[in-house]
Each structure stands twice: as C-alpha cells, then as structure tokens.
Amino acid sequence: MAVVVQYSFLAGFGVLFILTIINLVISRKTSVYQKEFAQATDNRMKVTNEVFNNIKFIKVNAWEEYFYDKLMARRTVEIDWLKKKMFSESFSTFFMWLAPKFILAATFGLFIAVGNGL
C-alpha cells in the first residue's frame, strides 16, 4: 500500500510560491546592480582612456597623483557595485539550491504534524 501525502503537498507548494517571490525580488535587484555596475565600468574606462590619451601631458605637468586618485575613486565605485551584484547572485543561488530541501521539509513536516507517520 502506497503512502500518499494527502493535502500536505500544499505546504510544499506554499514554500515554492514564497521562494519564487523571493527569487523574483532578488533577480530584479541583481538586474539593477548589473546596470549600475556596467555604468560604473564605463565611467572608469572613460577616465582610463583619458589618462592613456593624455599621458605625456599628465607626466609633463606632474598630474599623476590627481588622475590616479580620480581613477581609483571610479574604481572603488565600480567594485562596490560588483560586490552588491555578486552578493545578490550568491543569495539567489543559495535559495535555488535549497528550494527542493525546503519544499520536502515543509511537505513532510506538515504530514507528520497532522498525525501521520512515515
């Protein structure tokens, strides 16, 4: 005789629904972070190109420190967006890998909680 989880599957379905919403929110944030990261990269590359195009002028006028600070400020902004993006992607991956375990735990947890045995 096969054991059927009866209506306990609704707990697993509920967990699936909640995790889907969480993943949707995380993926939207990741998309925003990706756009900001790309913009920061473009800004840094503009300064880098400016430095390379005017390297003789910068050296003659001893402006290395000014342009170094300018470049590092843009790089810091870029790295901050990259950290946010990667953290968001890691969080999404974490939920994707744990979703099946959460669903099983909720389904069988409710099945046992209503008085059934395994």
| Number of structural domains in the chain | 1
Mean pLDDT, range 10-28, rounded to an integer: 94
Would you place residue 2 in the very low, low, confident or very high pLDDT band (cuts 50, 70, 90)?
Answer: low
Q: What is the pLDDT of residue 3?
A: 66
* Domain contains 3: no
> Which structural domain, as residue segments, surrounds residue 16?
8-111
Q: Is residue 118 part of a domain?
A: no
pLDDT digits (tens, 9 = 90+) for 53-79: 999 999 899 999 999 999 999 999 999
Confidence of residue 116 (pLDDT cuts 50, 70, 90): confident
Pair of tokens at residue 20: 């889907």
- What is each CA distance from 115 to 8, 65, 102, 118, in whole angstroms? 11, 72, 20, 10
Q: What angle do CA 66, 50, 34 make, to 5 degrees?
A: 95
CA distance 12 to 107: 5
Residue 82 lies in a domain: yes
Question: CA–CA separation, 39 vs 33, rounded Å?
Answer: 10
Distances (CA, A) of 13 to 71, 77, 114: 50, 41, 17
Contacts of 4 (CB under 8 A, 6+ apart): none
Q: Is residue 116 part of a domain?
A: no
In this predicted structure, what is the pLDDT of residue 1?
46
This prediction's pTM: 0.80
